[in-house]
Chains A and B, each alone.
Chain A
Amino acid sequence: MEVKQISLFLENKKGRLWEALNVLAKAKINIRALSIADTSDFGILRLIVPEPEKAKKALEKNNFTVRENDVIAVGVSDKPGGLAEILKILTDADINVEYMYAFVEKSGQKAIVVLRTDSISKGKKALKQAGVTVLSAQQVYSL
Chain B
Amino acid sequence: MIWDKQAECMRIKERQALQLERLKAIVRRAYKNVPYYKKRFDELKIKPSDIKNLSDIRKLPFTTKTDLREGYPFGLFAVPRKEIVEVHTSSGTTGKPTVSGYTRKDIEIWGEVVARALTMCGATKDDIIQNGYGYGLFTGGLGIHYGAQRIGATVVPVSAGQTKRHLDIMQDFGSTILTCTPSYALYLTEAVAEAGINIKKLKLKAGCFGAEMWTDRMRDEIEKRFHLLALNIYGLTEIIGPGVAQECEQKNGLHIFEDHFYPEVVSPDTLEPLPDGEKGELVLTTLTRDGMPMIRFRTRDITALRREPCKCGRTLVRMDRITGRTDDMLKIRGVLIFPYQIEKALLEVKGVEPHYQIIVTRPQHLDEIEVQVETSKKLFSDEIKGLEEIRKKIEKHIENSIGLRVKVTLVEPKTLPRSEGKAKRVIDKRQL
User: Taking the complex as formed, is B44 at the interface, i.e. its CB lies under 8 A from any CB of chain A?
Assistant: no
Closest to B408 in A: A41
CA distance A42 to B407 in the complex (A): 14
Q: What are 9 pairs between A and B in contact, CB < 8 Å? A: A7-B380, A11-B411, A11-B412, A39-B384, A41-B410, A44-B384, A46-B382, A65-B375, A98-B385
Q: Quick check: A44 and B413 within 8 Å, CB to CB? A: no
B341-357 vs A, CB cutoff 8 Å, 1 = contact: the mask equals 00000000000000000
Number of interface residues of B (CB under 8 A): 19
Closest to B391 in A: A41
Give me the 10 closest cross-chain CB pairs, A-B, nearest first: A7-B382, A65-B380, A63-B414, A65-B375, A9-B375, A11-B412, A37-B384, A41-B409, A9-B380, A67-B382
**Chain A residues near B388 (CB-CB < 8 A):** 39
Q: Quick check: B387 and A44 within 8 Å, CB to CB? A: yes
Q: Quick check: B412 and A65 within 8 Å, CB to CB? A: yes
Q: Quick check: B377 and A65 within 8 Å, CB to CB? A: yes
User: From residue B383, how far is it (CB to closest CB) to chain A in Å?
Assistant: 5
- A residues contacting B by CB (< 8 A) are 5, 7, 9-11, 16, 37-39, 41-42, 44, 46, 63-67, 69, 98-99, 116
**Chain A residues near B387 (CB-CB < 8 A):** 9, 42, 44
**Chain B residues near A5 (CB-CB < 8 A):** 382
- A10-B412, A42-B387, A44-B387 known; A67 and B381 CB under 8 Å? yes
CA distance A38 to B383 in the complex (A): 10
**Chain B residues near A63 (CB-CB < 8 A):** 412-415
- B residues contacting A by CB (< 8 A) are 375-377, 379-385, 387-388, 409-415
- A9-B375, A65-B375 known; A16 and B410 CB under 8 Å? no
Interface of B is mostly: loop
Q: Quick check: B413 and A98 within 8 Å, CB to CB? A: no
**Chain A residues near B383 (CB-CB < 8 A):** 44, 98-99, 116
**Chain A residues near B409 (CB-CB < 8 A):** 41-42
CA distance A99 to B414 in the complex (A): 29
Among A9, A10, A64, A99, find the residue whose CB has the most chain B CB atoms closer than 10 A.
A9
**Chain B residues near A46 (CB-CB < 8 A):** 382
**Chain B residues near A9 (CB-CB < 8 A):** 375, 380, 387, 410, 412
User: From residue B380, how far is it (CB to closest CB) to chain A in Å?
Assistant: 5
CA distance A66 to B413 in the complex (A): 11
- A63-B412, A65-B375, A65-B413 known; A116 and B382 CB under 8 Å? yes
**Chain A residues near B414 (CB-CB < 8 A):** 63
CA distance A39 to B383 in the complex (A): 11
